[in-house]
Amino acid sequence: MENLAYALVQLVHNFGAVAVTAAPIAASRPAFASDSARGALARFVVVAWVVQIASGVSFGLTSLHYYGVLPDLGAIARTALVVKVLCAAAGLSLSALMLARGVRWSAPARDRGWHALAGLGATALAGAAVLRWFS
């Protein structure tokens, strides 16, 4: 049963990773040039980061539930996890800030925000590969 639980958590986490990385990249496309489209995209990115955080926590909770302990991570895996957590915290904070105030920012500032969000998503995704390989 624990394999099913891990698989479901992984499924949600994978789709969240796609969302937090691809949605900010999509913001640079002409289809998302309007303030309303970018506002909708910002809402989506906020939700995607919340999903990432919740599903990431769920990995640990699943281990705790089935084995009574959190996963034993080596130094490299632990570092990768810290990178992922920092990216998630920064991504959620920046996307929420952009949702709340981004419409008042200059176009270059908004573009920098979207680029930063794409970078945070990609960095978290790279951290996931390292975490998976070294755990």
Model pLDDT for residues 96-130, shown as the tens digit of each residue: 999 999 989 999 999 999 999 999 999 999 999 99
Give the model's pLDDT for residue 1: 86
DSSP assignment of 60-129: HHHHHHHHSS-----HHHHHHHHHHHHHHHHHHHHHHHHHHHGGGS-HHHHHHHHHHHHHHHHHHHHHHH
Give the model's pLDDT for residue 108: 95
63 to 3, 16, 40, 69: CA distances (angstroms): 10, 20, 35, 6
Q: Whole-model pTM?
A: 0.93
The predicted-structure confidence for 47-102, as pLDDT tens digits, reads as follows 999 999 999 999 999 999 999 999 999 999 999 999 999 999 999 999 999 999 99
